[in-house]
Amino acid sequence: MEQRFDIGKLIPDGYKAMFGVHTYVQGAGLDLGLLELVRLRVSQINGCAFCVAMHVPLARKYGLSENQINLAATWKEAPVFDPRQRAALAWAEAVTALSGQEVPDAIYEEVKAHFSPVEIANLTLCVVEINGWNRLMVASRTPPLL
pLDDT at 100 over 90: no
Would you say residue 133 has pLDDT above 80? yes
The CATH number that domain 7-140 falls under is 1.20.1290.10
- The model's pTM is 0.95
* Residue 88 CB partners (closer than 8 Å, separation 6+): 34, 37, 38, 111, 114, 115, 123
Q: In the chain, what are the domain boundaries?
A: 7-140
The answer to whether residues 93 and 37 touch, using CB atoms and an 8 Å cutoff, is no
Please say if the pLDDT value at position 99 is more than 90.
no
pLDDT of residue 145: 87
Confidence bin at 1 (pLDDT 50/70/90): confident
CB atoms within 10 A of CB 92: 26
What letter does residue 142 receive in the DSSP assignment? P
Residue 61: per-residue pLDDT: 98
* Confidence band for 86, pLDDT divided at 50, 70 and 90: very high
